[in-house]
Chain A
């Protein structure tokens, strides 16, 4: 599984010359800033700085880009915790418990937990990649569209049913989100639900919609509050508490390992990646916890689950990129462009012929982890001061950032208009108890779900028995039914049994 000669050559590539390392710290800082600024994406940072890699050799370019990736995946958790705005879709679940923690004055802890989980996540991800790169690449090839659709539907159902007491409203929100996600052209070139607007031909811009539903609607709700954290004593930024949070994350090794495994395997599925893995990990952690009701109210395990999964997804998507030459998401798509700029084609041949380079990238990421701790600890106190800002200053400032960021994503007024429309939708959803995350995830996955279903239909020729030939897809469907109906069914059986016991006694 491990080629030790290539390992030695990989280490030589990294340590015979110090120059590859010069770009790592700037890369992490760029990633942190872009990740922590709502509306600026990690992929945007990588795209902006991609031309610079022309002046670097391939290993140095990869180190620079993966450093941006690593810094960005942690950075996106910072606004999720402090402002309930996931910097990117990979930090959605971080906001579920991170933001309630901040509102309780435990923002230092939450940031420390996020940093530790990210750091350990990246480390774990690349360790798994180091051992598994070859078998993993073979496994990814076996996942077809039917399995992809099953994973999406499963994740969707789990997320929609998160709010225990309002499952129906959660399901409505999630499924309507899936429908919204299919607006625009489908794979066959048919445009649905566009109302004749050319702006909608590519679909509803999901990230501006996400900004509206998550950030703006929450800010509307907080408009009458003085500060994010009401108690003045709790607003202090304390390095000691950030360290305490760092240590606290290590108390949940199983949550981290589960998140890591979900992250690597889901991250390796092209097109799914960290946007789904953080949610799956969160939902699984909540489902298995003895106190699931505490999630969404500031349970540190929620932050650990999300951050460990989205950080390990980086390694998963790198596996697909290196082994198959397929980008898992926006960030790896930019890396693929860097491959092309250096006349390198990813895929099984690349792994076989340039194993030393692959190992060098993996080892460099081990080192990046420690640099991320140092840079992260320096930056967190700076960024955490945000909670000291009165809400009357914070709210318009963040709304402005969301509007400008959304303009940056679409390049026209569609972005700001989408933020406004979905801010109002989110505001009404929050007020009447509909699940905002379910709707957002639905929108994110709608087009992907339709594409997977269409491909399955084309492969099977419309024959439903095709599903029986896909045991993995069947298994996931069964898991979905169990997670949807299992708990209420067991509760009902338990109630019946206790009633009959009472009657007989």
Chain B
């Protein structure tokens, strides 16, 4: 296996799952070591850790520990994931109305839409329309920048 064929992502995901399990187990023990508190968490965490170990051993034996999966590389989707993350994080600042319009417009530009009229029209109509609908339907206040006024 050459360096280019290697993919550490799978191993990292496995380690992250084992890490989460260990952290959660210790957090539960920290809260209380009473049987009632650990009745499900302790055995389940131990089972998860045992399966992770088994998976590691099996992959080591097969020589597939760092094998690259047969799927589209993650970096091709990364801009979309980043854009979505930016959208969610901007909701409190830009409001559901403006953030949604900007997110849709940015996504369309990213994916090659060059009909500016359609792009602008759709982003504004859908973004404001959905934000307005949900604001109307939901019993909680939704942060808006323009529609609120």
Which residues in A have some Cβ–Cβ distance to B below 8 Å? 40, 48, 168-169, 171-172, 175-176, 178-179, 182-183, 186, 188, 190-193, 216, 220-221, 223-224, 391-393, 395-397, 399-401, 403-405, 407-408, 411-413, 416-417, 419-420, 423-424, 427-434, 449-450, 453-454, 457, 462
Question: What separation, in Å, do the CA atoms of A190 and B112 have in the docked complex?
Answer: 51
Report which of B21, B55, B104, B139 forms a contact with A176, defined as CB distance below 8 A: B21
Question: In the complex, given contacts A175-B48, A192-B37, what are 16 additional A-B residue pairs having Cβ atoms less than 8 angstroms apart?
Answer: A168-B55, A176-B48, A178-B44, A188-B34, A224-B72, A224-B77, A395-B80, A396-B107, A401-B130, A408-B138, A416-B91, A424-B81, A431-B69, A450-B39, A453-B40, A454-B39
Question: What separation, in Å, do the CA atoms of A419 and B139 have in the docked complex?
Answer: 20
Residues in B65-104 with C-beta less than 8 Å from chain A: 69, 71-72, 74, 76-77, 80-81, 84-85, 87-89, 91-92, 96, 100, 103-104
The count of chain B contact residues (Cβ–Cβ below 8 Å) is 63
Question: What separation, in Å, do the CA atoms of A428 and B73 have in the docked complex?
Answer: 11
Q: Check B130 against A168 for contact (C-beta < 8 Å).
A: no
A420 with B84: in contact, given A168-B58, A395-B107 (CB under 8 Å)?
A: yes
Looking across the interface, which residue of chain B has its beta carbon closest to that of A392?
Answer: B111
Q: 29 A-B pairs, CB-CB below 8 angstroms?
A: A48-B137, A171-B51, A172-B51, A172-B52, A176-B17, A183-B24, A186-B36, A186-B37, A192-B27, A193-B28, A220-B77, A223-B111, A396-B103, A396-B104, A396-B108, A397-B104, A397-B130, A399-B103, A400-B126, A403-B88, A403-B91, A407-B140, A423-B81, A423-B84, A428-B13, A430-B71, A432-B69, A454-B39, A457-B39
Q: Check A427 against B77 for contact (C-beta < 8 Å).
A: yes
Q: Check A432 against B13 for contact (C-beta < 8 Å).
A: yes
Report which of B24, B36, B111 forms a contact with A192, defined as CB distance below 8 A: B24
Which residues in B have some Cβ–Cβ distance to A below 8 Å? 9-10, 13-14, 17, 20-21, 24, 27-28, 31-32, 34-37, 39-41, 44-45, 47-48, 51-52, 54-55, 58, 69, 71-72, 74, 76-77, 80-81, 84-85, 87-89, 91-92, 96, 100, 103-104, 107-108, 111-113, 122, 126-127, 130-131, 134, 137-140, 142
Q: Check B130 against A416 for contact (C-beta < 8 Å).
A: no
Q: Check A411 against B24 for contact (C-beta < 8 Å).
A: no
Q: Check B104 against A400 for contact (C-beta < 8 Å).
A: yes
Report which of A193, A223, A407, A424 forms a contact with B134, defined as CB distance below 8 A: A407
Q: How many A-B residue pairs have CB under 8 A?
A: 161
Distance (Å) between the CB of A502 and the closest chain B CB?
25
A176 with B111: in contact, given A400-B104, A420-B85 (CB under 8 Å)?
A: no
Looking across the interface, which residue of chain A has its beta carbon closest to that of B55?
Answer: A168
Residues of chain B with a CB closer than 8 A to A393's CB? 108, 122
Q: Check A172 against B17 for contact (C-beta < 8 Å).
A: yes
Question: What separation, in Å, do the CA atoms of A100 and B107 have in the docked complex?
Answer: 25
Q: Check A392 against B112 for contact (C-beta < 8 Å).
A: yes
Ranked nearest first, the 3 interchain pairs of A and B with the lowest CB-CB distance are A392-B111, A396-B107, A411-B140
A175 with B51: in contact, given A190-B32, A400-B126 (CB under 8 Å)?
A: yes
Residues of chain A with a CB closer than 8 A to B87's CB? 399, 403
Residues of chain A with a CB closer than 8 A to B104's CB? 396-397, 400
Distance (Å) between the CB of A316 and the closest chain B CB?
26
Residues of chain A with a CB closer than 8 A to B88's CB? 403, 416-417, 419-420
Question: What separation, in Å, do the CA atoms of A178 and B42 have in the docked complex?
Answer: 12
